[in-house]
Amino acid sequence: MTIDRRQALSGLAGIGMAATGFARLGADGAGRDEFPAQGRLRLRRRCHHHINGAFTHPHAAGGSRGDAHAAVRRRATVGGPFEHTAEVWKDFAALINADPEEVGLIPNTSTGENWVVEALELRPGRDNVVTDGLHFEGALVHLMERRKQGLDVRVVMPRDGRIHMSDLERAVDDRTKLVEVSHVAMYNGFQHDLKAVSDLAHAHGAYVYADIIQGVGAVPLDVRATGIDFAAASTYKWLMGDFGLGFMFVRRGLLDTVVRRPHWSYESAPDVEFHWSPTDPKSPEAIAYTPGRTAGTYLRLGTVASSVAAALSVSLPYIHRLGVANIEAHRVPLVQRLQAGCPPRLQGPDAAGEHLAGGHLRPRRHGRHCPEACAGEGGRCGSRPTGSGIAPSVYNDMADIELLDALS
C-alpha cells in the first residue's frame, strides 16, 4: 500500500502555529478549504509549509471538529468530558501491540519518565541508571538532579551522531536497575534498536524505559517484539493529538512486583464505596475500596484533557487505517531526499543508513537557519536552540522537499 494525495488529504487538517482557527484538508473539496499543495496550510491569508511533524503535527480530519465538539459539550453538560477518554487508550494499545490493561493515560511524557524512576525505588549506592546523550533533555535534567542526590547515573555519549551498542554494553553492569533511552532522538532522528537494548538490560537484570514520542505513529513499534518494559509518549506529534494528554505502557507482570504504586487518587480504585450517609452501608471507615490492578489505575491521578481525547478518537483510527508501516514507507524517500540535498553547512549529526526510517533532519545552528531561509517563501519549521527540525509526514510530498532544497 502506498499513501497517495487523496488518502493523505482526506485524512488531515492543518493547524498553523500562529493560527486561531482550524482549516481542513479534503480530497473532494466539498464545503472545505482548498489548499495549493498537501504540505501547505493556508491560514490568515498566508501559505505555510508545515514540514515538521516531529515537532507538532496537524490534527487529523475530524480531530479539530471533535476537539471543538468536546468543548461545546463541556459547556453544556457535565458528562461531556468523559465521552472519549474511556476508549482512546485501547486504540493506542493496539498501535504498539500492547494489552489495554498495560496502558494508562498521563498528561505528558515527562510524567511517565518520572513515574518509572519513582516506582522502581532507585537507591543511591545500590542501583545505577544508564542513559545516553541523545535522550530527551527533560529526562536528562531529571536524571542529573538524581545524580546530585547520589544516584549513579551513567550517560553514554554519541559518536558520529549515533549511540553505539558497544558503548552501552560497557556502561551496563549487574547493578544497573534501569536503562533509559529515546526510541528516536529528537535532535537528529537517530533510532535505537530497542530489542538489542532490552536484551542487554535484561541480561543484567535491568529494565528498559523508552521515550517513544518521536517515533510512535511514524515508525512501527511492537512492545512485545522489542521487549521494553516501560514507554511513554505525549500525543501532539505523530499521534496527531495535542498538548495535555499522553499514554504510558507498563509491561504486564511488573505492577506490584517490580514497581510500587507511587501515587494514589480516586482513579486508583474503580469501586469506591462511601459510608457517610445514613442510607450507606454501615462501616467504621469513611470509604471502602479495592485498588485497581491495571496500568491505568496506577498511572492516572485525576482528570485529563478530554478535548484531546476527542481528537485522538479520530486520529488514532486514521493512523490504523493508513498503517504505520505505510506511513514510514511514504516518509523514507522524503527523508532520503532531505539528507541528500541539504548542504553540509546546514546539517547536524546524520542518522542515516539503518536508522533513516525514523529520522528527521536537524540543521546546525551555524550559518543560515532554516526558518530564516524559509521565511521569505512562507515556510515554517519548528525552531529550538538546538537547531531547526525538518520532519515530513503523510501530507508532504517531494514538491515540499524540493522547495526546501531550492531555498537552501
* Euclidean distance between CA atoms 378 and 355, whole angstroms: 30
Query: Hey, what's the cell of 126?
Result: 545500590
Q: How far apart are CA 70 and CA 244, in angstroms?
A: 15
Task: Give, in degrees to the nearest 5, the angle at Cα 80 between 300 and 308.
Answer: 55
Residue 70 has pLDDT above 70, yes or no: no
Question: Region 193-222: what's the mean pLDDT?
Answer: 97
The sign of the CA dihedral 199, 201, 206, 208 is negative
Query: Distance of alpha carbon 277 from its chain centroid, rounded?
Result: 45
Q: Using alpha carbons only, how large is the chain's radius of gyration in Å?
A: 22
Closest listed residue to residue 15, CA positions, set 65, 74, 83: 65
For residue 2, is pLDDT > 70? no
Q: What pLDDT, on a 0 to 100 scale, did the predictor assign at position 99? A: 96
Q: Which helix (H) or strand (E) holds 116?
A: helix 109-119
Question: Are the C-beta atoms of 82 and 307 separated by less than 8 Å?
Answer: no
Q: Exposure pattern of 85-110 as b/e (b: 16+ CB <10 Å)?
A: beebbebbbebbebbbbbbbbbbbbb
Answer for the pair 157, 100: CB distance below 8 angstroms, yes or no.
Answer: no
With 0.85 as the threshold, say if the pTM is over it. Answer: no
List C-alpha distances in Å: 42 to 17, 19, 29, 39, 378: 12, 10, 14, 10, 10
Band the pLDDT of 271: cuts 50, 70, 90.
Answer: confident
Summarize pLDDT for 324-367 with one digit per residue, the tens.
999 999 988 888 887 777 655 445 444 444 444 444 555 444 34
Closest CA to 228 of 243, 209, 205, 215: 209
Please, are residues 376 and 350 in contact by the beta-carbon 8 Å criterion? no
CA distance 219 to 238: 9
At 78-108, the pLDDT tens digits run 555 555 566 898 999 999 999 999 999 999 9
Residue pLDDT, tens place only, 22-37: 222 233 322 223 223 3
| Distance, CA of 33 to chain centre | 29
Residue 180's identity, in one-letter code, is E
Beta bridge partners of 49: 40, 379
pLDDT at 165 > cutoff 70: yes
Question: What is the average pLDDT value for the chain, to the nearest integer?
Answer: 78
Average pLDDT rounded to a whole number, residues 125-136: 97
Intra-chain end-to-end CA distance of the chain, in Å:
32
**How much of the chain, in percent, has pLDDT values that exceed 70?**
68
Q: Convert the pLDDT of each residue in 232-254 to its tens digit.
A: 999 999 999 999 999 999 999 99
Residue 173: pLDDT over 80: yes
- For 266, other C-beta atoms within 10 Å of its C-beta total 12
